[in-house]
Amino acid sequence: MKRNTWQREAVREALGQTEGFVSAQGLHSALHTSGSPIGLATVYRALGDLAGAGDADSLQSPEGESLYRACSTDAHHHHLICRNCGLTVEIEADAVETWAKTVAAKNGFTQAAHVVDVFGLCASCTQAATVHVVGPQQ
Amino acid sequence: MKRNTWQREAVREALGQTEGFVSAQGLHSALHTSGSPIGLATVYRALGDLAGAGDADSLQSPEGESLYRACSTDAHHHHLICRNCGLTVEIEADAVETWAKTVAAKNGFTQAAHVVDVFGLCASCTQAATVHVVGPQQ
DNA sequence: TCTCTATTGATAATGATTGTCAAAAGCAAT
DNA sequence: ATTGCTTTTGACAATCATTATCAATAGAGA
Ligand SMILES: [Zn+2]
Ligand SMILES: [Zn+2]
Ligand SMILES: [Zn+2]
Ligand SMILES: [Zn+2]
């Protein structure tokens, strides 16, 4: 049987308070900064459990880090993520869902699952980036 | 200026001879087995260059490894991957392309890129109903 | 051939993630 | 509340893919 600990609740709480995706390390340092003495390994375990239970979304950043986010809904959905500040928008994609199923079936594949994520620069980060891009490069 | 070395050609060659996606480590050991004394770091560099130049596709396995595959076309495309045997089918997805652009633009995002991969069991692996499972589960 | 410099590769370093295991804490039954 | 059993924790070590070093090697143009 699974036991209830303040550590797991702290992770759930911290994840819920975070805007966008966070890494295990990031969440641990956030918790640590706010005074929690929770251990790093515990944060990894708790996030893994949450993701496994479907209470958190997880994806891999382009750099290979595992990122987590509190799910606002238990329905299947995807994300539009700012690769600069982490701002995340949950998006629906019925068209993509049916497309994935169709293309898999057409090629004889079964048990199809899919990874669909859109990365970009959000509006505010786009402005900030524009300032930096102007001028001599390198 | 970029120089031509037998190492880069060996990587290109080995990648082209590989069915499905391979990791840098995997390709290196394959080369090593076939008698090539190429160094591991060089394989990493060559694969990175190929991917950067658009001559190779890359994606991250669910375990976080970077995998590479020789591109059969230079056009943007996606993959349908058997998570048991690695068989890969290149797929086009104009609908997904436009959808990704649209959803990004609608939310004020710029420089949108996307990750779209479909994992499943190919026809033959479905029959075999094997165990070695790789990839996102349902 | 002769420079000049990009490239290589053995190895060290990095860094995220997982394994270890004794100590601490949940939970159910006394 | 106490006991007893078991899960969970956390400091630390271990793993493992990837990157950084840097002296030695080898393209390529003069
Ligand atoms: Zn942003
Ligand atoms: Zn979907
Ligand atoms: Zn297969
Ligand atoms: Zn695409």
Contact A123 B100 (CB under 8 A): no
CATH number at residue B66: 1.10.10.10
Tens digit of pLDDT for each residue in A85-114? 888 999 988 989 999 999 999 999 999 989
Q: Which residues pair with A115 in a beta bridge?
A: B117
* A88 and A62 both lie in a single domain: no
Mutate to test the interface with A, among B118, B124, B134 (most CBs of A within 10 A): B118
Strands ordered across the beta sheet of B110-121:
A88-91, A78-82, A110-121, B110-121, B78-82, B88-91
Listed in sequence order, the residues at least 6 apart from A58 whose beta carbon sits closer than 8 Å to its beta carbon are A47, A51, A66, A67, A68, A69
Strands ordered across the beta sheet of B56-60:
B22-23, B66-70, B56-60
Work out the number of other CB atoms within 10 angstroms of the CB of residue A8.
18
**Boundary (domain end) residue, out of B50, B74, B98:** B74
Q: If you measure CA to CA, which chain A residue comes closest to B113? A: A119
Give the domain range for residue B121: 75-138
Residue B101: CA count within 13 A, CB half-sphere: 5
Tens digit of pLDDT for each residue in B63-99? 889 999 998 888 889 999 988 788 899 998 898 999 9
**Boundary (domain end) residue, out of B46, B74, B102:** B74
Please name the helix (run of DSSP H) or strand (run of DSSP E) that holds residue B49, with its range, or none: helix B40-52
Single-letter residue type at B61: S
User: What's residue B1's pLDDT?
Assistant: 82
Tens digit of pLDDT for each residue in A33-75? 999 999 999 999 999 999 999 899 999 988 899 999 998 888 8
B122 touches chain A (CB under 8 A): yes
Question: In this structure, are residues B67 and B115 in contact, taking their beta carbons and an 8 Å threshold?
Answer: no
